[in-house]
Amino acid sequence: MKFDRDRIAELLQASLPDDANLFVVGLTVSDAIRPKVTVTLDGEQGVGIDECAQVSRRLARRIEEEYGEEASYTLEVSSPGADQPLIDPRQYTRHVGRSLDLKLTDGTEKTGVLEETTPEGIQLAEVVKEKNKKKTLPATHIPFADIAEAKVVISFK
């Protein structure tokens, strides 16, 4: 059986709860004999296991209605891991005050503290090393369009 990714995306959107601020940051549908549908959800306040389970049940029901109860597939609904890059601008909001590693579209890399998010981009106070010391520069605006990849720096201090 072959699943149509666009149709699965529509079914997924219909499976999200109305009252939760959840959004989709990833959807893959494998082309295997037994397709695997992998969904990654996030929310402005994060996403919990109960919300993932709820969306999983709703989506499974819709897939069975669309493709028949005998459809053989694997469904995985999860939140992004701590090591996953930030994909959607809405993901940045809850990381204000944390350090980010950025790779920009021009090839440069920056590390600094996320001070603020705006609809157009972020305010980052870049941390640079100067003569064996770390120095924090004044915050600068970086448009989302200039960010190729952003990851939260995980610190165990």
What single string gives the DSSP state of each residue in 92-115? SGGGTTSEEEEEETTS-EEEEEEE
Are 127 and 136 contacting, i.e. CB atoms less than 8 angstroms apart? yes
State what percent of residues in the chain have pLDDT above 90: 74
How far apart CA 78 and CA 114 sit, in angstroms, is 25
How far apart CA 131 and CA 70 sit, in angstroms, is 66
> What's the pTM value of the predicted model, to 2 decimals?
0.80
pLDDT of 58 above 90 = yes
Q: pLDDT for 75-111, tens place per residue? A: 999 999 888 999 999 999 989 999 999 999 999 999 9
Neighbours of 50 (CB within 10 A): 8
pLDDT of 56 above 80 = yes
Q: pLDDT for 117-133, tens place per residue? A: 999 999 999 988 888 88
Q: Answer with the residue of higher pLDDT: 69 or 123.
A: 123
Give residue 20's pLDDT.
Answer: 65
pLDDT of 142 above 70 = yes
How far apart CA 98 and CA 7 sit, in angstroms, is 37
Rounded average pLDDT over 14-35: 89
State what percent of residues in the chain have pLDDT above 70: 98
Residues 6+ away with beta carbon under 8 Å from 42:
22, 23, 25, 79, 80, 88, 90, 91
- Residue at 25: amino acid letter: V
117 φ, ψ (degrees, to nearest 5): -120, 145
How far apart CA 137 and CA 114 sit, in angstroms, is 12
Q: Which of 58, 85, 108, 91 is nearest to 154 (CA)?
A: 85
